Amino acid sequence: MLKIENLHVRVDGKAILKGINLHVRAGEVHAIMGPNGSGKSTLSNVIAGRDGYEVSEGSIRFKGKDLLGMAPEERAWEGVFLAFQYPVEIPGVNNTYLLKAGVNARRRHLGLPELDAMDFMQRVKEKAKLVELDPSFLSRGVNEGFSGGEKKRNEIFQMAVLEPELALLDETDSGLDIDALRVVAGGVNRLRSPERAIVMVTHYQRLLDYIQPDIVHVLVDGRILKSGDKALALELEARGYDWVREEAGA
Amino acid sequence: MSLSIEQLRAQARDAFARHGVPTRRLEHWKYTDVKRALAPLADNLLELPSDPMPVDALGDELSIAGLDAWRIVIADGVVLSLPDDPPQGVHVASLAGQLHAQPEQGVAALHFDEQAPLFNGLVALNAALAGDGIVIRLEDGVRLDKPLYLLHLSRGKAVHIRHRIQLGRHAEATVIEHYAGMDAGLSNVISRLHLAEGARLHHVRVQQEAVGRTHIGRVEAELERHSQFVSHSVALGASLSRVDIVAELRGPGADCRLDGLYLTNGRQHADHHTVIAHRAPHCRSREMYRGVLDGRSRAVFNGRVVVHEGAVKTDSAQSNANLLLSGRAEVDTKPELEIYNDDVKCAHGATIGQLDENQLFYLKSRGLAHEEARQLLTFAFADEVLTGIAVPALRRHIEHAAFSKLPHGEDIEGMLAGHDGTGEMA
Ligand SMILES: Nc1ncnc2c1ncn2[C@@H]1O[C@H](COP(=O)(O)OP(=O)(O)O)[C@@H](O)[C@H]1O
Ligand SMILES: [Mg+2]
């Protein structure tokens, strides 16, 4: 589903990603772990299409299509979703309205009829319940005045409503207390399906107690130095990242 | 000791002769060349308006749709009709009628003070020439059941109007001044407002004059103790508009909110000058002005807050934010704080900028197309100012007018259909 080959990315002339290779198949859950500043958010942002990153080498293909040639909204229509590490507040833009516009833009792109207001509201209410989002948040401005944890919860709620094929979760676990983490993880787990892929980016293994990854990658200094199964995450938790660096001779 | 109307008019003419039409040499008219805008009228400025225009169906056509209000149409500065049976305790008269029947009240309505903040020659001109307007008084404790809606239709070359609104203790009212001038010319309107103890007034100006017209407005509000004044000034039309709002917080605990929105395009010029004078302790003022500028338009915002010596525990916050949609639009913004005691909390800030890249990316990552995302953010930015407008038909009217001014606004309006502004979907 997602094929990243030899991806090199620069920001302001500085090399941040230095040859990333990542293959994610439908149905899989991948975890990308790495210390702060290793390039995890850069990778997520480049996949979602944020400006300001220079791809100097390599390719990203999604369902066989060249993702790098697409505008961010086209990527969303194709089924890419990024849950932001730092969701921005957008006062005055209604949360539910945004989702309705997003869902219907994608449906138009896919040649499907738009959802009518009733069907849409039903979907919204159902998904809000799923992540235990207070219904009052639906009618507020996007993330406006939300606490850190509420913003993260809102990201997962949006993901549930938009039903992406590829979900990128950038540090969705940070800023969540243990109850919220459980709820958010529950939301993510319910989204797992053979047609969907999930890539979780985190620097704690905490989240992986709740969402079991199929594959764990270690991202250090812009390179994936090691990949393995769930046991790798536990090892990272116990031993830190330095041994991976040494082992890779980096 | 009180003046006769003749004396007042003579004094006003004299003051106008001395001050004249403001020029850019004056500090507060530096960016706004009203003299040039009025040049075509220069010789007729002292002429009284000619016969009132025929209104016919125009009043209905230009009225705010679906607004349940006490409507009064003022055509070329002449009050056409008054409510037949206003509620108990509400006294509505025309200034013309009052000048005739109770001249001393008329003189009070036309009062002007050369020492008042932002006084200028056009204030004197208004005092010299305004022949009509609305004079409304609410007795103590009276709550106006629906808004008073003043629809101003102007075709005359120069129209001078004077309104006076007095709210008794704990009285409450919403007053909407709607300006829909249709031809080139000058509208020069002054509204004098008085809020007695505990009174609450929501005063909304919606300026939608035709391009080609010059709109000069002035609002003077006096707030006694614990009164609450909310003002919205929306500038959409006219080639040049200048609105001065002066709020005097005279009694302890008075609360004042000045909000404003200007949307300009083409070569429009919109200027707001506001003065909030804190003269008593424990008063609060809030001010939020926003502008969206396109084309080669220009906007000016000058917000002065004066905290006088005895006005301890003053709590004041002011912001002015501007969005430039075009590289050729220009805005001059200047907050002015004058504080004469230490025991105050004051904050102000002004910004001029483009749309926020992070917000744009967020919306696009959720599937909104680039243009849609831009329009939505632009509209949301402007709409924030309208959140304090609790009359749904009025808010819808302004939003619709705003949409039709924004690039591709109709598309967004269509997308938002079924969305009633409170965030609930129909
Ligand atoms: N917009 C940017 N401008 C400059 N440097 C950046 C920018 N974004 C990221 N970086 C740098 O790139 C590196 C990787 O950052 P990031 O991808 O945010 O790491 P992580 O998410 O793993 O903590 C850091 O050294 C960071 O300082
Ligand atoms: Mg990060």
Q: Is there an atom of ligand 1 within 6 Å of A52 CB?
A: yes
Q: Is there an atom of ligand 1 within 6 Å of A45 CB?
A: no
Q: Is there an atom of ligand 1 within 6 Å of A34 CB?
A: yes
- Count H helices and E strands in chain A, helices first: 8, 12
B366 touches chain A (CB under 8 A): yes
* Model pLDDT, residue B43: 72
* Model pLDDT, residue B422: 39
Q: How far is CA B69 from CA B358, B368, B395, B402, in A?
A: 42, 39, 14, 22
**Rounded Cα gap, residues B64 and B33, in angstroms:** 31
Quickly list H helices, chain A: 40-48, 72-78, 95-109, 117-130, 148-162, 178-191, 230-239, 242-248
pLDDT-based confidence at B101, cuts 50/70/90? very high
Do B98 and B105 meet the contact criterion of CB atoms below 8 Å apart? Answer: yes
Strand duo A29-33 + A215-220: pairing? parallel
Complex confidence, ipTM: 0.96
**Angle value at C-alpha B352, between B351 and B353, nearest 5 degrees:** 120
Q: Residue B137 CB: number of other CB atoms within 10 A?
A: 18
Full-model pTM:
0.89
**Angle value at C-alpha A47, between A41 and A52, nearest 5 degrees:** 70
Is A141 in Cβ contact with B366 (below 8 Å)? no
**Rounded Cα gap, residues A22 and B310, in angstroms:** 69
Range B399-403 average pLDDT = 91
Chain B partners of A90 at a C-beta cutoff of 8 Å? 359, 362-363, 377, 380
- CB-based contacts of B384, cutoff 8 Å, min separation 6: A91, A92, B288, B290
* Model pLDDT, residue B426: 32
pLDDT-based confidence at B421, cuts 50/70/90? very low
Range A154-166 average pLDDT = 95
pLDDT-based confidence at B423, cuts 50/70/90? very low
Of B303, B413, B291, the closest CA to residue B347 belongs to B303
Range B340-345 average pLDDT = 92
Do B375 and B409 meet the contact criterion of CB atoms below 8 Å apart? Answer: yes
* Model pLDDT, residue A101: 92
CATH of the domain spanning A2-248, picked from 3.40.50.1370, 3.40.50.2300, 3.30.9.10, 3.40.50.300: 3.40.50.300
Pick from A72, A97, A99: CB nearest B416: A97
Q: What's the start-to-end Cα distance of chain B, in Å?
A: 61
Mean pLDDT of chain B: 92
* Model pLDDT, residue A223: 95
Pick from B369, B377, B384: CB nearest A73: B369
Q: Coil, strand, or helix at residue A35?
A: coil
Strand duo A90-94 + A141-142: pairing? antiparallel
pLDDT digits (tens, 9 = 90+) for B30-58: 999 999 999 888 777 776 666 666 777 77
pLDDT digits (tens, 9 = 90+) for B296-314: 999 999 999 999 999 999 9
Q: How far is CA A125 from CA A16, A128, A133, A137, A152, in A?
A: 40, 5, 9, 11, 18
* Model pLDDT, residue B415: 63
* Model pLDDT, residue B58: 79
Higher pLDDT, residue A203 or B228:
B228
Range B212-240 average pLDDT = 97
**B420 pLDDT more than 80:** no
**Rounded Cα gap, residues B207 and B260, in angstroms:** 11
Written as one string, the DSSP assignment of B132-200 is B-EEEEE-TT-B-SS-EEEEEE--SSEEEEEEEEEE-TT-EEEEEEEE---SSEEEEEEEEEEE-TT-E
Of A2, A48, A47, A6, the closest CA to residue A25 belongs to A2
- R_g of chain B, CA atoms, integer Å: 21
Strand partners, B162: B190
Q: Is there an atom of ligand 1 within 6 Å of A13 CB?
A: no
Quickly list H helices, B276-356: none
Range B387-409 average pLDDT = 90
Which of residues 331 through 360 in chain B touch A, CB cutoff 8 A?
A: 356-359
Range A118-139 average pLDDT = 90
Do B295 and B348 meet the contact criterion of CB atoms below 8 Å apart? Answer: no
**Rounded Cα gap, residues A72 and A80, in angstroms:** 9
